[in-house]
């Protein structure tokens, strides 16, 4: 890679940082190829000199909720005074889905909001619409994972009966064909 190209990558990184984004240094280093060490040194010096951003009250509330086990998307929605159904209705319109898809959309949004859905399969149009509705970088919030539980808590089963689904139980609830909601939220279809 040409030295000029490393400078261009650095300028791209620094510009994104200055806009308040959180550029991933690893992605830039990968793009730099053999000149990754030179770019890494430039980024390191920049980050040492760059002013540290201060957390807003909203950011602090998100982190506090996250530490208590509440998914950040839920915290953000509640902070805005929105009910889940209001977000679903706004998404239904923004994504131009048929009214008959509302319940499937509600289930998919619930899974995304509560961290049960892999954010990697979610379509860019969903992220864009949610960013407007929730007034936040929702893609980043959805990527937050809850703190790990101690193993003794995670595997504790007391006085609980565990039942496994049998083949006949599974056949009673056949999987539906992937639809537009599955494509938008799960990358299916």
Place of tokens 């009910």: 83
The CA–CA distances, whole Å, from 100 to 17, 97, 107, 179 equal 42, 8, 13, 12
Residues 37 and 70 in one domain: no
Query: Residues near 11 by Cβ (< 8 Å), separated by ≥ 6?
Result: none
pTM: 0.59
User: 78-127 pLDDT, tens per residue?
Assistant: 999 999 999 999 999 999 999 999 999 999 999 999 888 888 899 999 99
Residues 77 and 32 in one domain: no
Residues 102 and 81 in one domain: yes
- The domain total for the chain is 2
Are residues 22 and 7 in contact, defined by beta-carbon separation less than 8 angstroms? no
Residues 64 and 45 in one domain: no
Residue 16: domain span: 3-49
Place of tokens 């490393």: 6
Residues 81 and 140 in one domain: yes
Residues 45 and 61 in one domain: no
Residues 33 and 120 in one domain: no
Residues 73 and 141 in one domain: yes
Residues 109 and 136 in one domain: yes
Structural domain contains residue 65: yes
Helix (H, G, I), strand (E, B) or coil at 160: coil
For residue 123, the model assigns a pLDDT of 94
Torsion angle defined by CA atoms of residues 86, 88, 90 and 93, in that order, rounded to the nearest 10 degrees: -140
User: 121-149 pLDDT, tens per residue?
Assistant: 999 999 999 999 999 888 888 887 766 65
């Amino acid at each position: 890679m040409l030295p000029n190209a490393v400078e261009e990558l650095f300028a791209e990184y620094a510009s994104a940082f200055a806009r308040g984004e959180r550029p991933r240094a690893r992605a830039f280093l990968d793009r730099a190829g053999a000149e990754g060490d030179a770019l890494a040194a430039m980024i390191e010096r920049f980050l040492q000199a760059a002013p540290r951003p201060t957390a807003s009250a909203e950011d602090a509330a998100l982190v506090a909720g996250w530490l208590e086990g509440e998914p950040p998307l839920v915290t953000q929605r509640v902070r805005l005074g929105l009910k889940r159904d209001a977000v679903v209705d706004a998404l239904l319109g923004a994504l131009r889905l048929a009214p008959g898809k509302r319940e499937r959309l509600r289930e998919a949004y619930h899974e995304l909001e509560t961290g049960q859905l892999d954010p990697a399969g979610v379509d860019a149009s969903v992220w864009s619409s949610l960013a407007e509705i929730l007034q936040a970088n929702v893609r980043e919030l959805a990527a937050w994972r809850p703190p790990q539980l101690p193993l003794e808590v995670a595997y504790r089963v007391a006085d609980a009966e565990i039942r496994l689904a049998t083949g006949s139980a599974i056949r009673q609830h056949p999987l539906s064909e992937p639809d537009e909601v599955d494509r938008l939220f799960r990358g299916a279809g």
